[in-house]
């Protein structure tokens, strides 16, 4: 059944479930944030900077890494949601195990850190495997002309939930609950919200899609260089995304810097979460209309300039209260790039090869996701200000390359035109 043949009632239900999924994911992430929660927790138990930098690398890198193989496996399947069902169960169990370790072995920080890293890896890898069917199903159930609204609703309303999470975070960290049980409670709340998020998207009624080509793995790998050479839009998209992800190398250390160098109290984490979340809400609302109107390249450019301004502000601001500006800029930037990147990838990917484009794009991005690990290794030798300066330079290079997006801008317009004229019936 194509999307146009799906009853309107089911279309609305699918859209609603997708939005609910995003709302709960955002709420859960506020309690499991790499830079604002995980990093201060690890710093409190004496973890070195390289381990702190490893957390976002594992969460992002192992999410990206398996997707090309997954794409090759599921591409011929007209229905892909069943793969998401399995990985969602694995992700929830991994988060529950991580949370339990904080409560049960809090007096053994080395073992607790090891379990935390292993469970983060399992959760992220399962998320990466489920990410390909999630992205493919989303493209089926949401017309291109409504993608901006779809992502904005997920992130804006989810931002309101995360804003409430900021108040909860501050209350928990200011309470009499002893460390590490205070962080254990925070992780538990994030786990519950994340589990509900996975369950909500599992309830989507997936329409049948166009089966992709069934390729031997070796044959698919051999096709990739030709694909990148022929498809200019994809090549330039991946270049900017690669550089842009590497430019985030300083993000896990913003909160640590505020606490260790600027004298911010631990409870300031809640304040920073609220500032970042409010910025996410406003940013997503502002980006909604341009994205719906085929201006995703502009949205991405605004995002990267905001990500350039974040480490620059981290260098220039010396008051921990004003330092919340750093998280505001970072949140706006990530909101813009997050919306535009998915929309542009959907626009340039052929329907029959959408899984391949998603898997290839995300696998390529596994390498730059390791940048925070390199940053953690460098910090003892060069210090955080030098790291922030490097992030400024890399973000500036990324932003400059985003002005060579003529092919992507044209593809975005074509996808919008097809959606508004009913040309996506083959989905």
The CATH architecture that domain 3-420 belongs to is: Up-down Bundle (1.20)
Cα–Cα dist 137/146, whole Å: 15
| Per-residue pLDDT, 105 | 86
pTM summary value: 0.71
| Distance, CA of 281 to CA of 261 (rounded, Å) | 29
Q: Identify whether the C-beta of residue 346 lies closer than 8 Å to the C-beta of residue 144.
A: yes
pLDDT in the model for residue 195: 93
Report the distance separating Cα 176 and Cα 404, nearest Å.
54
Radius of gyration of the chain (CA): 21
Question: CB-hemisphere CA count at 13 Å for 257?
Answer: 27
Q: How far apart are CA 2 and CA 211, in angstroms?
A: 12
| Surface-to-core class of residue 193, CB atoms within 10 Å of its CB (0-12 exposed, 13-18 middle, 19+ buried) | buried
Mapped onto helix, strand or coil, the DSSP state of residue 403 is: coil
DSSP letters along 265-327, please?
-TTHHHHHHHHHHHHHHHHHHHHHHHHHTT-HHHHHHHHHHHHHHHHHHHHH---TTTTHHHH
Q: Give me the residue spans of the domains in the chain.
A: 3-420
Calculate ∠ Cα 356-141-21, nearest 5°. 95
pLDDT along the chain (427 residues), means of 10: 65 90 90 82 82 78 72 74 89 94 84 89 88 84 82 84 84 86 92 93 84 69 82 90 90 87 84 84 87 90 96 94 94 92 87 77 78 81 91 95 89 80 46
Torsion (CA) 245, 19, 151, 40 in degrees, nearest 10: -30
Of the candidates 257, 250, 201, 241, the one whose C-alpha atom is nearest the C-alpha of residue 22 is 201
- Confidence (pLDDT) at 125: 87
């Amino acid at each position: 059944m194509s999307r146009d043949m799906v009853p309107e009632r089911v279309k609305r239900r699918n859209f609603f479930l997708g939005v609910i999924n995003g709302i709960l994911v955002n709420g859960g992430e506020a309690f499991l944030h790499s830079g604002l929660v995980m990093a201060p927790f690890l710093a409190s138990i004496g973890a070195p900077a390289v381990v702190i930098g490893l957390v976002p690398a594992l969460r992002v890198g192992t999410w990206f890494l398996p997707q090309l193989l997954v794409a090759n496996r599921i591409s011929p399947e007209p229905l892909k949601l069943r793969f998401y069902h399995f990985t969602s169960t694995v992700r929830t169990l991994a988060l529950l195990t991580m949370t339990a370790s904080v409560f049960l072995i809090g007096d053994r920080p080395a073992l607790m850190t090891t379990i935390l890293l292993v469970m983060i890896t399992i959760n992220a890898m399962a998320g990466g495997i489920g990410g390909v069917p999630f992205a493919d199903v989303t493209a089926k159930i949401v017309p291109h002309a409504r993608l901006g609204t779809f992502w904005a609703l997920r992130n804006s309303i989810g931002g309101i939930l995360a804003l409430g999470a900021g108040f909860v975070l501050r209350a928990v960290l200011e309470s009499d609950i002893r460390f590490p049980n205070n962080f254990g409670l925070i992780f538990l709340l994030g786990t519950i919200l994340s589990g509900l998020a996975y369950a909500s998207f599992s309830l989507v009624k997936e329409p049948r899609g166009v089966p992709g080509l069934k390729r031997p793995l070796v044959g698919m790998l051999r096709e990739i260089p030709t694909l990148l050479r022929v498809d200019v839009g994809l090549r330039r998209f991946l270049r900017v995304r690669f550089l842009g992800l590497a430019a985030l190398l300083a993000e896990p250390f913003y909160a640590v810097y505020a606490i260790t160098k600027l004298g911010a109290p631990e409870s300031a984490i809640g304040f920073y979460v609220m500032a970042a979340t409010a910025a996410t809400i406003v940013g997503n609302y502002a980006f909604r209309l341009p994205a719906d109107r085929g201006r995703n390249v502009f949205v991405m450019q605004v995002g990267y300039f905001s990500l350039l301004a974040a480490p620059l502000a981290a260098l220039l601001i010396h008051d921990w209260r004003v330092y919340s500006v750093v998280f505001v800029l970072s949140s706006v930037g990530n909101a813009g790039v997050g919306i535009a990147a998915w929309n542009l990838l959907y626009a340039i990917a052929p329907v029959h090869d959408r899984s391949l484009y998603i898997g290839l794009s995300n696998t390529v991005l596994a390498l730059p996701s390791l940048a925070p690990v390199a940053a953690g290794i460098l910090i003892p030798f060069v210090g955080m200000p030098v790291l922030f300066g490097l992030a400024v330079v890399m973000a500036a290079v990324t932003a400059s390359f985003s002005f060579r997006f003529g092919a992507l801008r044209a593809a975005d317009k074509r996808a919008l035109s097809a959606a508004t004229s009913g040309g996506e019936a083959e989905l």
